Amino acid sequence: MTTSLPRPATPPHPQRITLADFHDAARDVLPAPAYDYLQGGAADERTVRWNAEAYERLALLPPVLTGTTDVDTRCTLYGTELPAPVLLAPTASHGLFHPDAEAATVRGAAAGGALTTVSTFSTLTLEEIGAAATGPWWFQLYVQRDRALTEDLVRRARAAGATACVVTVDTPVTGLRERDLRNGFALPSHRMPANLAGHGAEPGRNAADPAHRGIHDPRIDPAVGWSDLEWLRSISGLPVLAKGIVRPDDARRAAEFGIGVWMSNHGGRNLDTAIAPLVTLPAVAEAVAGRVPVLIDGGIRRGTDVVKALALGADAVAIGRPYVWSLAAGGAEGVTAALSALHREIELALALLGAPDLAALTPDLVRPPW
Ligand X SMILES: Cc1cc2nc3c(=O)[nH]c(=O)nc-3n(C[C@H](O)[C@H](O)[C@H](O)COP(=O)(O)O)c2cc1C
Contact 163, 77 (CB under 8 A): no
Binding mask 326-355 for ligand X (x = CB under 6 A): ------------------------------
Say whether residue 51 binds ligand X (CB under 6 A).
yes
DSSP string, 111-139: HTT-EEEE-TT-SS-HHHHHHH-SS-EEE
Residue 260, annotated as binding a ligand: no
Residues 244-303 contacting ligand COI, CB under 6 A: 266, 269
Roughly what angle, to the nearest 10 degrees, separates helices 303-311 and 277-288?
A: 40
Nearer to ligand X, 141 or 365 (CB): 141
Q: Are 353 and 365 in contact (CB under 8 A)?
A: yes
Strands 366-367 and 137-141: unpaired
Binding string, residues 2-41; x marks residues near ligand X by CB under 6 A: -----------------------------------xx---
140 touches ligand X (CB under 6 A): yes
Q: Residue 171 interacts with ligand COI (CB under 6 A)?
A: yes
Please identify, using beta-carbon distances, which residue of 271 and 355 lies nearer to ligand X.
271
76 annotated as a binding-site residue: no
Partner from ligand COI, ligand X, none contacting 215, C-beta within 5 to 8 A by type: ligand COI
Residue of the chain from 90, 136, 161, 248 that contacts ligand X (CB under 6 A): 90
Amino acid identity, residue 190?
H
Q: Would you say 270 and 42 are in contact if contact means Cβ atoms under 8 Å apart?
A: yes
**Interaction between residue 240 and ligand X (CB under 6 A):** no
Question: Rounded CA gap, 103 and 342, in Å?
Answer: 21
Q: How many Cβ atoms from other residues are within 10 Å of residue 130's Cβ?
A: 20
- Minimal distance in Å, beta carbon 269 to ligand X? 6
Measured CA to CA, the distance from residue 301 to residue 320 in angstroms comes to 10
| Residue 350 interacts with ligand COI (CB under 6 A): yes or no | no
| Residue 53 phi, psi (nearest 5) | -65, -30
- Residue pair 262/251 in contact (Cβ under 8 Å)? The answer is no
| 47 belongs to the binding site for ligand X (CB under 6 A) | no
DSSP state string for 78-99: TTEEESSSEEEPP-S-GGGT-T
**174 touching ligand COI, by CB under 6 A:** yes
- Quick check: is 266 catalytic? yes
Q: Is 298 annotated as a binding residue?
A: yes
End-to-end Cα, the chain, rounded Å = 46
- The separation between CA 117 and the C-alpha centre of its own chain, rounded to angstroms, equals 7
Residue 167 binds ligand COI, judged by CB under 6 A: no
CA angle 159, 160, 161 (to 5 degrees): 90
Partner that binds at residue 89, options ligand X, ligand COI, none, CB closer than 5 to 8 Å by kind: ligand X
Which stretch in 149-157, 202-210, 214-222, 253-261 sits in contact with ligand COI by CB under 6 A?
214-222
Distance of CA 248 to the CA centre of its chain: 20
Per-residue x/- track, 102-131, ligand COI (CB under 6 A):
-------------------x----------
Residue 140: name its binding partner from ligand X, ligand COI, none (Cβ under 5 to 8 Å by kind). Answer: ligand X
Report, in Å, the least distance between residue 321 CB and ligand X: 4
> What backbone phi and psi angles, to 5 degrees, belong to 88?
-90, 120
Q: Which residues are annotated as a binding site for glyoxylate?
A: 37, 142, 177, 266, 269
- Residues at the contact surface with ligand X, assessed by CB under 6 A: 37-38, 51, 89-92, 119, 121, 140, 168, 243, 264, 266-267, 269, 297-300, 319-321
Indicate which residues carry an active-site annotation: 266
